[in-house]
Structure 1
Amino acid sequence: MSDQGTPNAAGRTAGESRVSAKPTPKGAWTITFLLFLFMVVNFADKIVVGLAGVPIMTDLKLSPEQFGLLGSSFFFLFSIAAIVVGFIVNKVPTRWVLLALAVIWALAQFPMVGTVSFTTLLICRIVLGAGEGPAFSVAAHAIYKWFPDEKRTLPTAILSQGSAFGVILAVPALNWIIVNHSWHYAFGALGIVGLLWVCAWLALGREGPLEDTQVLAETEQKIPYLQLLTSRTFIGCVAATFGAYWALSLGLTWFTPFIVKGLGFSQSQAGWISILPWVFGATIVILTGWISQVMMARGYNTRVARGVLGSVPLAIGGLILAMMPHVQGAGLQIALLVVGSGLCGAIYVVCPPMLGEFTPTSQRGAILAIYGALYTLAGIIAPAVMGATIQRAGSTLDGYMTGFTINAVIMVGSGLLGLLLLWPNTEKARLRRGVAAQAAALKGAVSPT
């Protein structure tokens, strides 16, 4: 199946085993750390509604369906904003785009500090979602200007870990504010943290020196967007990450309410339990990034070192999650939920670098953004489906279990689609041949006879 030489039994090719590493520019890891913090703030903003779910539902007298709508509302403009900004960063420096996004996040939090209606909360979450929609794709595009292709998996893993650490660091602090003061002040604290990141980025943020997107836009040979978007690896990345994001969006919105209302823990206990999936997920993501780069350094092709490595844990996680309704005891159910949903994090590490393999640099921002816009549609659907399922179930716990079973089926299916479709190394060769053939045909058409 490979177009880059004949692979051996270990998934290596002769060409790929002789990749020469390019140097990493000075300051690359400083930027990586700042963008890691960017994603920490991003996911702290996301988790606060789920963490404060029970107090919000109690104060605003919301039904499960209404709370599910609140969770979904964050994603109403998420995808649209991601696509629009993705095309913008093809031409505009990422430094200023990232700054603008962080300012929007901070300002969207402050209206919740005072008395707030359900409508106001809904609108603020929609605005916040519009600001956060492009976050990961723009941050990944920015990091790739600092690292050559063969060194991108580990920085991508670190960037992805902003999500886990955003929850791990934010949950105890925010839950303390919620329990001892009010859920309103938790939103205000996040607004202040967002403004602190803005100040740090203004002082230290820079554009990567390896790629000048504006120059490349004028000189680089492009591939038609239709070919990029219909490539099997692009479709496979969207399908696989859709299943992972279904689990993630349920974790953001419904995990803490499940612990409190489904299993009977207190809000204080639930705050600490809510950290567990993210701690486990962080371990999986860092291991995936490290293993992937080690495999590539040893000559494995990216079909194996990225595609297979990301898809298999996703399918296994779904199978583990499917066991939840069939076991007894809150501890065991939590353990299955933590491990099952945590394993899906591997796919976030490998898909952006796979897309970056075959996408021209001047088009990469848009492709990463469209990819993000499509898979995060799961964020609109999953919380609403869970809310409707709980409301129509015979008991609250039965509703949760049915919702997690739906999640399990989607994870297994998306993992299998990833295994079937993710072939970035052959995609790169095929698309390059197509561009070369088109260039040759055009040259022949204009040559004098």
Structure 2
Amino acid sequence: MKNRRIFIYIFLFSLTSINYIDRVALSVAAQPIAHEFGISPIQMGYLFSSFIWTYFASLIIWGIALDRWGTRWVNAIGMAVFSLATVATGFAWSYMSILVTRLVMGAGEASSYPAGGKVIREWMPARERGIAAAVLNSGSYAGPAIGAIVVAFAVQLFGWRTGFILVGSSGTIWLFCWLMWFRKPELATFIDEDERALILRERNGGLPDTPTGPTLSIPDMLKSTSVWGLLITQAFCSYAQFLFLTWLPSYLQTERHLNIVKSGYFTALPYALSVILAIVIGRLSDRLLTAEACNRGGQRNMVAASMLLTAVVLTTPFVDDVWIMVAVFTLSLTGAQAGIAMNIALLGDLLPSSAEAGRGTGLLITGGASFAMIAPIATGYVVAITHSYNNAFYIAGVLALAGAFVALTMTRQPIRRKDEVEEVGEATLRA
């Protein structure tokens, strides 16, 4: 039997990579855009945050659509929308026109993580969900690493508009390949029958992957303590992630006095290193946890450990050497990346079947987007008021510590309807 699931890993990684390449373009090009349109730090904070507004509002809608119509076409539509919106940013003529393109981009990008979560639940045996979620989320760090360098050079050589047109066009190849080859494992032609049987047998930890009753609705999920724990953890982890995503290039340019190209390099390096480290953590998680431990929610321990690693950002204000700073950012980014990935895997472990994976992941990422939406704006105010980034790093670190505590204490039950949880019994839910 050949492991042809590697193609699904490639799709997942490249999906979020392209998504985040488009996101980071504004961060890298922020200074020339601000100069051209006379944008203040507070206004730029709102502009950084703007795509998250529609992203936040669209996540659950995309999740419900994915559960109803499947990942193939729904995900393709999302990719087309946010790629075209990114290209359109290159033709913007004012602050408001950039704001509009960012809002459209956010609505389209909201499809990616719910689709990725559902693909993982449909395609991956339970013992591979940690590494699969790490690969999915690693794209969100590889994207900024690639985008920071590509956009920096494009801005330096051709102007900021070319950067947006270049990265926005990158989704075309992905979209063609996705529609050409992707199908559910039951219908995919690139895997053999042995691999198909393995996936269908093991994707729910050896248990049947069909609902025993009505599938869980969003209101059903919101009655679960574990769901609230997942949402809070995702929110606190996403705060740190979006602090780096939106403000790191500006921090390097203003506080560390690096030019655009050098800030691109020093943005890319921590992101690139964190991709490797987070995948290692995902692989380690899969090796340490059995399918039975996954079904009991043992993944929460890896989530908490990752959040503690994210809190290393607290040391940033005390670091002067640029290479030690790179190490701090790498460790903190690794923790944030692994925390989000392991949280997605934990959600898959706690859901009863893949039938709820789209809306469940949409709900989870909505929790993350709630604080991702706040991070760029809050940082803009912190910088404008204090003329320093120190307090912004302190806020992110404290939230990461709180997220570790929440992960350990609130995600200890499977996500079921209340009557089903009572039947299972809390004694079977302890890791």
TM class, shorter-length: 0.7 to 0.9
| Aligned equivalent of 2:341, options 317, 330, 349 | 349
Question: Counterpart in 2 of 1:11?
Answer: none
Q: Give the C-alpha shift of residue 435 in structure 1.
A: 6.6
Alpha-carbon distance in structure 1 between the residues aligned to 2:102 and 2:11? 24
Question: Counterpart in 2 of 1:374?
Answer: 367
Q: Give the C-alpha shift of residue 220 in structure 1.
A: 4.6
- Please, which moves more after superposition, 147-156 or 76-85? 147-156
Alpha-carbon distance in structure 1 between the residues aligned to 2:421 and 2:242? 39
Q: Give the C-alpha shift of residue 371 in structure 1.
A: 1.1
Question: Counterpart in 2 of 1:415?
Answer: 404
Question: Counterpart in 2 of 1:13?
Answer: none
1:1-400 mapped onto 2 (5 Å cutoff): 27-114=4-91, 116-209=93-186, 220-223=213-216, 225-297=218-290, 300=293, 305-318=298-311, 320-359=312-351, 360-393=353-386, 395=387, 399-400=388-389
Which deviations, in whole Å up to 9, do the C-alpha atoms of 1:409-433 show, x marking residues without a partner? 1111112211222225x66798744
Alpha-carbon distance in structure 2 between the residues aligned to 1:415 and 1:208? 35
Give the residue type in structure 1 aligned to 2:252. Answer: I
CA contact (8 A) 2:89 2:161 kept: yes
Q: Give secondary structure in 1 for the equivalent of 2:93.
A: coil
- Please, which moves more after superposition, 94-103 or 107-116? 107-116
CA contact (8 A) 1:302 1:423 kept: no
Task: List runs of 5+ in structure 1 lacking aligned partners.
Answer: 1-22, 438-449
Which deviations, in whole Å up to 9, do the C-alpha atoms of 1:211-232 show, x marking residues without a partner? 7xxxx88975434644422323
Give the residue type in structure 2 aligned to 1:412. Answer: L
Q: In 2 relative to 1, CA 407–218 (structure 1 residues): closer, same or farther, beyond 3 Å?
A: closer
Q: In 2 relative to 1, CA 386–297 (structure 1 residues): closer, same or farther, beyond 3 Å?
A: same
Alpha-carbon distance in structure 1 between the residues aligned to 2:105 and 2:217? 32
Q: In 2 relative to 1, CA 154–224 (structure 1 residues): closer, same or farther, beyond 3 Å?
A: same
Alpha-carbon distance in structure 1 between the residues aligned to 2:314 and 2:291? 36
Task: List runs of 5+ in structure 2 lacking aligned partners.
Answer: 187-198, 201-208, 426-431
Q: Give the C-alpha shift of residue 48 in structure 1.
A: 0.7
Q: Give the C-alpha shift of residue 403 in structure 1.
A: 1.2
Q: In 2 relative to 1, CA 315–287 (structure 1 residues): closer, same or farther, beyond 3 Å?
A: same
Give the residue type in structure 1 aligned to 2:318. Answer: H
Q: Give secondary structure in 1 for the equivalent of 2:82.
A: helix
Alpha-carbon distance in structure 2 between the residues aligned to 1:124 and 1:115? 8
Q: In 2 relative to 1, CA 250–229 (structure 1 residues): closer, same or farther, beyond 3 Å?
A: same
Alpha-carbon distance in structure 2 between the residues aligned to 1:127 and 1:422? 34
Alpha-carbon distance in structure 2 between the residues aligned to 1:254 and 1:160? 20
Q: Give the C-alpha shift of residue 358 in structure 1.
A: 3.1
Question: Counterpart in 1 of 2:393?
Answer: 404
- Please, which moves more after superposition, 358-367 or 222-231? 222-231
Q: Give the C-alpha shift of residue 151 in structure 1.
A: 2.4
Alpha-carbon distance in structure 2 between the residues aligned to 1:139 and 1:106? 17
Q: Give the C-alpha shift of residue 78 in structure 1.
A: 0.8
Q: In 2 relative to 1, CA 74–423 (structure 1 residues): closer, same or farther, beyond 3 Å?
A: same
Question: Counterpart in 2 of 1:440?
Answer: none
Give the residue type in structure 2 aligned to 1:158. Answer: V
Alpha-carbon distance in structure 1 between the residues aligned to 2:244 and 2:268? 10
* Larger CA Rg, structure 1 vs 2: 1
Q: Give the C-alpha shift of residue 294 in structure 1.
A: 0.4
Q: Give the C-alpha shift of residue 337 in structure 1.
A: 3.2
How big is the alpha-carbon RMSD for the aligned residues of Structure 1 and Structure 2? 2.6
Alpha-carbon distance in structure 2 between the residues aligned to 1:155 and 1:276? 23
- TM score, norm. by length of structure 2: 0.86
Q: Give the C-alpha shift of residue 345 in structure 1.
A: 1.7
Alpha-carbon distance in structure 1 between the residues aligned to 2:33 and 2:277? 32
- TM score, norm. by length of structure 1: 0.83
Q: In 2 relative to 1, CA 111–404 (structure 1 residues): closer, same or farther, beyond 3 Å?
A: same
